[in-house]
Structure 1
Amino acid sequence: MLFMIGMSIVFTCDNSHAAEDERPNIIYILSDDMGYSDIGCYGSEIETPVLDSLAENGIRFTQFYNTARCCPTRASLLTGLYPHQAGVGHMMEDRGHDGYRGQLNRRCVTIAEVLQTAGYRTYMSGKWHVTPFQPKSPDADKSNWPRQRGFDRFYGTIHGAGSFWDPNSLTRENTRISPVTDPEYPIESQVDGKFYYTDAITDHATRFIREHQEGSSDEPFFLYVAYTAAHWPMHARERDIAKYEGRYDAGYDAIRNARYQRMIDLGVIDAEATVNWPIPDKWKTQKHWEWDKRNMEVYAAMIDSMDQGIGKIVDSLKSTGQYDNTLICFLQDNGGCAETLGRSSKHNVENTNQTFDPLPSDHLQMDMVPKQTRDGRPVRGGPEAMAGPEDTYVAYGRGWATVSNTPFREYKHWVHEGGISTPLIAHWPRGIARHGEIEPTPGHLVDLMATAVDLSGAEYPKTFHDGNSIHPMEGQSLRPLFEGNTIQREAIYWEHEGNRAIRVGDYKLVAKGGKGLWELYDLAKDRSEQNDLSQQMPEMVEKLAAMWQEYAERAFVVPGMRK
């Protein structure tokens, strides 16, 4: 019945084009490698006034989920499918199975491809990361680049990680570019005459919004903004870092404790269903505290800078008269990242006094970890490298990632709550009358395609790409929740690197690794996943495990596939 109602809405909108100018613009903003508690309106001390304002005048979801890793999340968000169905069950390599081909397949469609059929203009600024990048091939396959997957305009990076000062795979439309010689974004026009990728993503998003109003104001638009903040390396402008100098002097536990209390006060977690367990000493950096404190100061500055950028996007909507009828959704691609890249002295180059020849201004950066800066300095890691500048390359580590994920277990990669829980802020002045409210209904990335199809009046195709059959959408439109109503779903599923889970109602079955045993949690009472009920409720374990297996078989999941 719910399905028929939803299809009726789509059919009516698509065929009558009733009040076509009333269809909203849609902006999905995705951040990178951030934990559930890392923005102000979810408990953080990091200053995010723009996101806080969007939440105050919209809805905050408290049980929304991603897929625990960058590539699968982007594939799922873009297609409305579970990532394996789109071909991206792991990262950007072909692992010999249909669910793990490492790039978008031709049995899925992107939101941009679908919305184009309904008369939407489509734009993207930022990180793509759903197809392999071939840096040494001038004839690289571009069939899965944004312009070939439904986007009218694109500026950003094809690859997933890199320097914020000199990002690899930087691309405009279908052409690789140097940030130094890009005539459409002159280096001298940027802050201090210095390129910074977060600013570049913002500036191109606002450009697309302005130019859309100037040239296509009779059509709605879809804009996908994919920031790389706050993914390693910890890079930020000094003016933003300075705001957080001394902010973390009190240490990991004090910051985590303060966040936990603010989260309770804000209503984004339930004190009766969570545990603020202490951070083990072995996860903290003690010998190099001043260095690790600086890492968190820079991490905070990166998020602050992104929030400033989102403010510019909001301002561009207001100045062009498009603000009231634009749905803005903000979310994150996975939980806080405990990866150790750049955190050991071994990550230094052999001779930190070594210099290199300066790079030519038109040099195309293709290395995820550059060996040198453009002016010839070696890029350094380890506790000798104080994060922030372009000659450093450091991740912020497990201690701070545990703070980011307050009060949940595990991190990016894993499908316990710390790896998959994300804020979702939904703001739409004309379409969401609920202001400042908390929405506890569980949801997933797959819902964003369904929402876009519903609101746009588009018809999700059964065939596409020269007649290929397309997997049906997996998600539910969030529109009923915007209106204060409810949605129903059978279950939400996960698998990544053998880590696997299913959530049905308040019960979640979860396991670590392909050989890990199932654990069972009642998230209504234990969202911190501290009290395993698997031995007490074997029938529930059996039921949910069977449901997960059925999902795995239809969604091209290989349960034992490891990294």
Structure 2
Amino acid sequence: MTEQAPETTKKTNIIVMMVDDLGYSDLGCYGGEINTPNIDALGYDGLRFTQMYNGARCCPSRAALLTGLHPHQAGIGQLSADLGVRSYQGYLREDCVTIAEVMKTAGYRTGISGKWHVSGSWDNRNRDSWVIGDKKHPMPKQRGFDRSFSLLNAADSFWNPKSLILEDVLIDVESGDFHMTDAIGDHAVNQIEESVEMNMPFFQYVAFNAPHWPLHAWEDDIAKYEGKYMAGYDAIRTSRHEQQKGLGVVDDKWDISPRDTDAPDWDDVQNKEYEDIRMATYCAMIEQVDRTVGRIVDSLKKAGEFDNTVIMFLSDNGGCAELFQEDSDWPDPSMWETHPTLDGEKIRTGNIPELRPGPDTTFQSVELPWANVSDAPFRLFKRWIHEGGISTPFIVHWPDGIENKSDILNNPMHIIDIAATCYEIAGAQYPKEHHDTEIQPLEGESFLPALKGKELKRETPITIEHEGNRGIRIGDWKLVAEWDKPWEMYNISDDRTEQNDLIDGEKDRAKSFEKQYYEWAERAEVLPWPVDPNVIAKRLTGDHAHITQHRAPLSGVMK
């Protein structure tokens, strides 16, 4: 028998907040030193989950969150480019439904403010020829959202984004005071207030694109952190790990993973001031998100809706290790250099030490060593299925509904479970058909019992694949591999930082897990990586072509 949401005179409102490229240790309530009082307050007065897994990359996680299906089943098994098969078409499939489409059937008003990124590829160099809202580029209002303020692209300028839509119409920024994080807050608050005025329960999706690159933040915020990271990578990682153990969000018996092999010793870093200012800008972006969360909370309190609103907060993947090539001789101008600033100034793309990050004339990233800090105490980053790539802080706050507030729960869960939980809270029925199309069965499992203080044990394995990186978690055990390397096996209860590979002594268990993984992969329409070398080579001339991954090139096959 499923757990039912409490009976109230009005249905429970639901807000899902997702941030972009935030690591497991970045928030204060998960061990970080960044100033996040508003998010921390939700965590300390709600529930903090320590073993929520995302989809390892931006748009696969978004597709999984929005549909309750695995990314491939939703059409986005890799990124937003169309690789010629439906599980890798780069936009939402017609045989899935979004949370917004289902929640509307239960009487909810639906709104999105923030990053969409589930509607194909958008190259700013070709902006004049974009087709908004056709079959391969579905917009939020076509997929169930009543109100829409969204960013189409994987990444864009925070000061002057060129892939911005309002009510599914492409718009331009006209004010020098614009910043995307602030604008996301403005529109989220407006959408919530409209729902309250209409006396309708609401589902609100707040999809921050921060702290994803580019490093764009207000100078006053950057200045708060400048100089605080001169202690270096290892010192900050160690400090966070100690704080995490004290908070109880990691187990004392888990040793911190060694500094990543691609991260230099701090003593060998030539330009420490540049490393410091990059991390300071990243922190400033997170603090700005926190302020925006505070504004949304204040609007709920003012409307008297705070206690009757479920707020969920998570990240789409682990910290981002991507590096911008500096002043490279690309055959085409960068998609982010094509359009100048509002003042007509040229934008320089690249991690160029003589350029201070933050303003609209720059386009930089935080890079691998600091991503290794963000993901402490775990291994690897965004794109990988090791814990650093898929572990997210996950906070649920619901004064009227959570039984044991201020608790830390260690239940293994997956991002696809969020949709199922929303439906159970709202009393919404997941359909078998939508718009005369047969819909795939829901993959996620509701974690509402955990919110009500009941025992929660996921019935099916947690299985994740991205670009050949792959893993399956069953109980305390995890089988995982990088795309071009053999399987590894870890007991997560004893060794969540994945330091002691037990596969040689667990051959039978590993064989059983591998069999279940491939059965899932076939059912979820996962294909060997790369899907098609010719298509992948074509993709590399466009979206993200100029970003260097520190490890696996886009070649090889899934072992």
TM-score for both structures, normalised by structure 1: 0.89
The corresponding residue for 1:24 is 12
Q: Shift in Å at residue 84 of structure 1?
A: 0.5
CA gap of 1:431–1:369, structure 2 versus 1, over 3 A, is: farther
User: Does the Cα contact within 8 Å between 1:34 and 1:336 map onto a contact in 2?
Assistant: yes
Partner of 2:522: 553
Which residue number in structure 2 is paired with residue 89 of structure 1?
A: 77
Match of 2:46 among 39, 58, 74: 58
Deviation of the 1:194 alpha carbon: 1.3
Q: Which residue of 1 aligns with 2:388?
A: 418
The partner residue of 1:477 within 426, 446, 450 is 446
- Tell me what 2:408 maps to: 438
Alignment check: 8 A CA contact 1:284 1:398 kept: no
**Cα deviations by residue, 1:501-520 (Å, 9 ceiling, x for unpaired):** 0000010000111x421110
Secondary structure at the aligned position of 1:449 is classed as helix
The whole-number CA distance in structure 1 between the counterparts of 2:427 and 2:262 is 53
Contact 1:273 1:523 in 2 (8 A): no
Task: After TM superposition, give the deviation of residue 435 of structure 1 in Å.
Answer: 1.8
1:479-558 alignment, distance < 5 Å? 479-488=448-457, 489-513=459-483, 515-558=484-527
Is the aligned partner of 1:265 residue 2:246?
yes
Tell me: CA distance 1:277–1:138, structure 2 relative to 1, closer, same or farther (3 Å). closer
Q: 2:278 aligns with which of 286, 290, 295?
A: 295
**Residue among 215, 229, 240 paired with 1:248:** 229
Q: What do the CA deviations read for 1:331-365 (whole angstroms, capped 9, x no partner)?
A: 000000000025x35489999xxxxxxxxxxxxxx
Distance in 2 separating the partners of 1:82 and 1:497: 14
| Separation in 1, partners of 2:264, 2:286 | 23
Matched, 1:210 2:210: no
Counting only pairs closer than 5 Å after superposition, residues 335-484 of structure 1 correspond to structure 2 as: 335-341=318-324, 344-346=326-328, 367-370=335-338, 372-380=340-348, 381=350, 382-465=352-435, 467-484=436-453
Distance 1:422 1:197, change over 3 A: same
Give, in angstroms, the shift of residue 425 of structure 1.
Answer: 0.3
Please state how far the C-alpha of 1:34 moved relative to its aligned partner: 1.1
The answer for unaligned runs of 5 or more in structure 1 is: 181-186, 188-192, 352-365
Using the TM superposition, name which of 368-377 and 472-481 deviates more: 368-377
In structure 2, C-alpha distance between the alignment counterparts of 1:559 and 1:443, rounded to whole Å: 26
1:138–1:548 CA distance, 2 compared to 1 (3 A): closer
| Conserved 8 A contact 1:27-1:223 | yes
Contact 1:414 1:496 in 2 (8 A): yes
Instruction: Look up the match of 2:537.
Output: none
Helix, strand or coil for the counterpart of 1:22? coil
Give runs of aligned pairs for residues 88-107 of structure 1, distance below 5 A: 88-107=76-95
Secondary structure in 2 matching 1:539: helix
Matches within 5 A, 1:64-79: 64-79=52-67
Deviation larger for 387-396 or 276-285: 276-285
Q: More deviation in 131-140 or 35-44?
A: 131-140
The percent identity for this pair of structures is: 47
Do the aligned partners of residues 553 and 73 (structure 1) sit closer, same or farther apart at CA in structure 2, a change above 3 Å counting? same
- SS where residue 305 of structure 1 aligns? helix
The code of the aligned residue for 2:70 comes to Y
Please provide the CA RMSD for this pair.
2.1
Amino acid at match of 1:423: P
* Alignment-derived partner of residue 129 in structure 1: 117
Deviation string 1:461-513 (CA, Å, 9 cap, x unpaired) is: 01112x21111111111110001112232200011000010000010000111
Cα distance in 1 between the residues matched to 2:185 and 2:275: 28
Compared CA separation, residues 279 and 555, structure 1 to 2 (3 A): closer
Q: How many angstroms does 1:276 deviate by?
A: 4.2
2:225 partner SS: coil
Cα deviation, 1:291-348, whole Å, max 9, x if unaligned, reads 1110000000000000000000000000111111000000000000000025x35489
Q: After TM superposition, list the pairs within 5 Å mapping 1:112-191 onto structure 2.
A: 112-134=100-122, 135-137=127-129, 139-143=131-135, 144-180=138-174, 187=175
- Please report how far the alpha carbon of residue 424 of structure 1 lies from its aligned counterpart in structure 2 after TM superposition: 0.4
What is the rounded CA distance, in whole Å, between the counterparts of 1:198 and 1:350 in structure 2? 29
Distance 1:561 1:93, change over 3 A: same
Shift of 1:283: 3.6
Structure 2 CA distance, aligned partners of 1:450 and 1:136? 39
- The alpha-carbon deviation at position 153 of structure 1 amounts to 0.2
Q: Distance in 2 between matches of 1:553 and 1:163?
A: 38
Could you say which residue in structure 1 is the equivalent of 2:22? 34
Gaps of 5+ in 2: 532-553, 555-559
Query: How many angstroms does 1:141 deviate by?
Result: 3.5
Instruction: Return the alpha-carbon distance in structure 1 between the equivalents of residues 340 and 462 of structure 2.
Output: 44
Structure 2 vs 1, CA of residues 55 and 9 (structure 1 numbering), >3 Å: closer, same or farther?
A: closer
SS in 2 for 1:426: strand
The one-letter code sitting in structure 1 at the alignment partner of 2:128 is K
- Partner residue in 2 for 1:360: none
SS at match of 1:75: helix
| Residues 163 and 369, structure 1, Cα contact 8 Å, conserved in 2 | no
Equivalents in 2 of 1:131, 1:138: separation in Å?
12
* Shift in CA distance, 369/329, structure 1 to aligned 2, threshold 3 Å: farther
CA contact (8 A) 1:519 1:534 kept: yes
